[in-house]
């Protein structure tokens, strides 16, 4: 079974450009979570999605950030007009059940804004 | 607000030594999880503790959930270089109907020197 797949692994963007991060959940998983991690810090919850629905976006910045999980295809985290402070590792996790105590993480996308 | 505080933040020890890291809070949790994250990778779930006072063992790792379910500890016996990584505790912030997004502690970065 393939695990959670994220791409790209590394992404470099200039200030003002757009960044698109992709996440394919584990087979059979319909719940996707995005997290952001700064160096030497824990992960911060951003958004929880099910197919075609945003369930909880309480951790998502109000501006420039958006997420989707379409009926077909991977989940996308989109950051518009990136700034240096957006540089971080972005992790996606997936689970199969609401209330499941286990979520499986991808290897992350490391975004560097120059 | 950071609900889970981990200590120490950084720990560097010699191979073969024992160590304990802590995850503390003033809040009560139905369960806590421990993850290990290696450099450049996503977090991997080690254990979930559910019952107050519960002790779980995973080879040389011993996890304990406090009696009041407010804190947890991880003890590693005879540390190996392969134990090097970031140890994160986390709780599930989701309710039954809203998924299981996790909220992470600040992390303990462990380095085991050969």
Q: Is B78 left (phi over 0), alpha (psi -120 to 50) or beta?
A: left
Phi, psi of B82 (to 5 degrees): -70, -10
Query: In this complex, do A101 and B48 lie within 8 Å of one another by their Cβ atoms?
Result: yes
Spatial CB neighbours of B72, under 8 Å, sequence gap ≥ 6: B22, B23, B32, B34, B49, B63, B64, B65, B66, B89
Return the higher-pLDDT residue of B63 and A51.
Answer: B63
The shortest C-alpha distance from B50 to chain A (Å) reads: 10
With vertex at residue A108, the alpha carbon angle to CA A83 and CA A110, rounded to the nearest 5 degrees, is 35
Question: What number is the average pLDDT over the span A39-49?
Answer: 86
pLDDT at B95 over 90: no
pLDDT digits (tens, 9 = 90+) for A50-86: 988 998 998 999 999 999 999 899 999 999 999 999 9
CB contact under 8 A, B101 and A4: no
- Does the pLDDT of residue B91 top 90, yes or no? no
Asked whether residue B92 carries a pLDDT value surpassing 50, the answer given is: yes
Give the model's pLDDT for residue B96. Answer: 46
> For residue A8, is the peptide bond before it cis, meaning its omega torsion is within 30 degrees of 0?
yes
Asked if A98's CB is within 8 angstroms of B99's CB, the reply is: yes
> CA of B105 to nearest chain A CA: how many angstroms apart?
6
Smallest Cβ–Cβ distance between B101 and the set A41, A45, A105 belongs to: A45
Find all residues with CB under 8 Å of A72, minimum gap 6, and list them.
none
Q: Across the A/B interface, how many CB contacts are shorter than 8 Å?
A: 78
pLDDT, tens only, A77-107 = 999 999 999 999 999 999 887 666 678 899 9
Which residue of A7, A40, A43 is the best one to mutate when testing the B interface, meaning the one whose CB has the most B CBs within 10 A?
A43
CA A90 to chain CA centroid, Å, is 6
Mean pLDDT of B74-92: 95
Contacts with B49 from chain A: Cβ below 8 Å: none
pLDDT above 70 (res B25): yes
Q: Do A4 and B42 touch (CB under 8 A)?
A: yes
The secondary structure of chain A as a DSSP string is: ----EEE-SEEEE-TT--EEEEEEPPTT--EEEEEEE-TTS-EEEEEEEETTEEEE-TTS-SSSEEEE--SSS-EEEEE-S--GGG-EEEEEEEESSTT-S--EE---EEEEE-
């Amino acid at each position: 079974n393939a695990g959670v797949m994220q791409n790209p692994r590394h992404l470099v963007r200039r200030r003002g450009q757009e960044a698109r991060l992709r996440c394919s959940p584990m087979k059979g998983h319909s719940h996707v979570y995005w997290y952001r991690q700064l160096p030497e810090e824990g992960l911060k919850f951003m958004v929880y999605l099910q197919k075609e629905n945003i369930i909880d976006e309480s951790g998502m910045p109000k501006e420039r950030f958006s997420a989707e999980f379409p009926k077909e295809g991977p989940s996308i985290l989109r950051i518009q007009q990136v700034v240096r402070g957006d540089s971080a590792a972005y992790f996606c996790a997936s689970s199969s059940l609401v209330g499941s105590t286990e979520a499986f993480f991808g290897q992350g996308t490391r975004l560097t804004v120059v | 607000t950071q609900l889970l505080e981990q200590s120490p933040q950084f720990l560097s020890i010699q191979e073969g030594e024992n160590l304990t890291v802590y995850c503390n809070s003033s809040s009560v949790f139905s369960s806590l999880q421990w993850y290990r994250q290696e450099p450049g990778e996503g977090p991997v779930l080690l254990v979930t503790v559910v019952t107050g006072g519960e002790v779980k063992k995973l080879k040389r790792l011993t996890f304990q959930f406090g009696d009041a379910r407010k804190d947890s500890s991880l003890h590693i016996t005879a540390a190996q270089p392969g134990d090097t990584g970031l140890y994160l505790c986390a709780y599930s912030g989701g309710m039954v109907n809203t998924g299981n997004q996790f909220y992470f502690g600040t992390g303990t970065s462990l380095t085991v020197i050969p």
